[in-house]
Chain A
Amino acid sequence: MTITEILANNRGDLETKLRNLLAKPVFIIEMDVFALPCGCKGITINTRGLQYDDLEIFEEYINEYLKTTSENLEIEPSFLFARVVPGTAEIASLNSRVLCNRCYMDFARGTGKRPRPDIYILYFTRRD
């Protein structure tokens, strides 16, 4: 299977799982794999219709789904987070990112789920 076929399948699977979980037609508008110049790499899953309450109530399930999607794409699910439109109920994207050393330090210094107004951490593996 090509990488785009794998992406397409995972986009559909995750969307179906979210819809079944939340009982509304949540829309995954785009799923991208990326590599940044700093060394970070991962997936960005742009969502529409997913809201902060959904995340808080169903975090355990959404976390698990995102982990599975990440593993299917051979991206270590070490840092999973949602990007929130700051100050609102809207979730712009779900993300799995393998952090570079520098970006890791930015997140490792903080505690709690909201290190920035636009980030809601679902899962974070601290390094030794």
Chain B
Amino acid sequence: MKLYAPHVGHLEGLEELLTGSNDIYGIYMAGTPDYVGTGRTNLSAPGLEEIAEQTEYAHDKGVKMEIVLNSSCMGGQHLTPEGYNRINWYFKQLNNQGIDSITVAEPYFVEMLAKEYDMEVVVSVLSFVDSPQKAEFYENLGADTIVIDPVVNRDFAKLEAIRDAVSTDLKLLVNEGCLYQCPLRYAHFNFFSHANGPGPKLNVLDDYYYYKCLSLRINDPQQLIKSPWIRPEDLGEYRHITDIFKIGGRTHFPNWILNNVQAYANESYDGNLMDLLDCPKDLKDLFYIPNKELDAAISQWKQCTKVCNKCGYCQKLAEKIIKVYSTEGCETILKPLKENGGQ
């Protein structure tokens, strides 16, 4: 198994990760947002020298280094002569630092990188590759690896079709807790891309999408079960698709990342599934989902037709196993979902 782990971006964090585990095949982190942003929040913006230093350190440990520049919206900046020159200069510098791969979401960048540089070109999860047709498109642009949109993580026919359609490597993001078929997905990532990109910076009052995302789950907790995460125990079910797995979570402490690495490397986790999910991380203090009680669920999901209103499996499962953290006096206790008005 090739396991890619997130990294917040500073050398101390990387040292902690790579001395803490021998199971990490590759590390990925954002670059500086001055050229191309990323589709998620970042805790740091390592400059070229820092990237060079960390790449060398990772390589000394036998670990691959991947830079993520997966802005889902560039606002057309890359199509201007100045924008193209600026971004191309940055790609050239990254190439010179010896990084192994670069993840992008913008199709233009996939083609540009494939034509001009030796770095492995990885198509981001934010390119939303959820069909063999899209996968073929990116392969034809020059992609070496495609990170499949998690929306099809439980659609095995689709996964198999993608596998059969292309000869690129395929990577699966295992612990994204986004809503299944999230209607906010494109707008939220576009917002992040601008907020974490070259600017102009917006004076945003509230992240509406995040509030809504949490609210949808609190008002309908079965959404937690429907999210297309892959449990550590279920990795074996995906081996015929790929052996490359990616853990999400670049805004977490190294300790959290290492806990995830251990869980996925061992293909087992005895605890709250919410501990492993990258987002929405705030809800791990609200919901308790006993991971081991989900052992049989993959059998259902493998034959799932995704017609939830006729099936009701995830709803029943949510009612049965999800607990809610509640306070009584000074103590935190777990209560069944139903006592807290769940569905």
Contact = CB atoms under 8 A, between A and B. Distances in A.
A92 B212 CA distance: 10
Given A23-B341, A24-B219, A90 B205 contact: no
**Interface magnitude class on chain A:** 20 to 34
A49 B219 contact: yes
Interface stretch (B168-176, B246-254, B324-332): B324-332
B342 A90 contact: no
B274 to A, nearest CB: 13
A9 interface: yes
Nearest to A54: B219
Given A12-B327, A92-B206, A48 B211 contact: yes
A49 B211 CA distance: 8
B341 A90 contact: no
A26 B205 CA distance: 22
B212 A22 contact: no
Given A22-B341, A25-B342, A27-B286, A85 B218 contact: no
Interface string A1-43: 0000100110111011001001111110100000000000000
Interface string A104-118: 000000000000001
Given A9-B329, A19-B326, A25-B324, A48 B214 contact: yes
A8 B212 contact: no
Nearest to B330: A9
A88 interface: yes
A59 to B, nearest CB: 19
Interface in A39-70: 48-49, 51
Interface residues of B, number: 25
Nearest to A29: B282
Interface in A82-99: 85-86, 88-90, 92
A25 B337 contact: yes
Contacts of A26: 218
A16 B208 contact: no
Interface in B253-277: none
A90 B212 contact: yes
A90 B211 CA distance: 7
Nearest to A48: B214
Nearest to A23: B341
A89 B285 CA distance: 23
B221 interface: yes
B215 interface: yes
Residue in A23, A24, A89 whose Cβ sees the most chain B Cβ within 10 Å: A24
Nearest to A84: B206
Contacts of B219: 24, 49, 51
B332 to A, nearest CB: 8
Given A9-B330, A16-B326, A49-B218, A25 B286 contact: yes
Interface of B: 205-206, 208, 211-212, 214-215, 218-219, 221, 282-283, 285-287, 324, 326-330, 337, 340-342
Query: 3 tightest CB-CB pairs across the interface, nearest first?
Result: A12-B327, A49-B218, A23-B341
Interface of A: 5, 8-9, 11-13, 15-16, 19, 22-27, 29, 48-49, 51, 85-86, 88-90, 92, 118
Given A19-B341, A25-B341, A25-B342, 8 more contacts: A5-B330, A11-B327, A12-B327, A19-B340, A22-B341, A25-B337, A51-B219, A90-B215
14 contacts: A9-B329, A12-B327, A12-B329, A19-B326, A22-B341, A25-B218, A25-B324, A25-B341, A26-B218, A27-B214, A49-B215, A49-B219, A85-B206, A90-B215
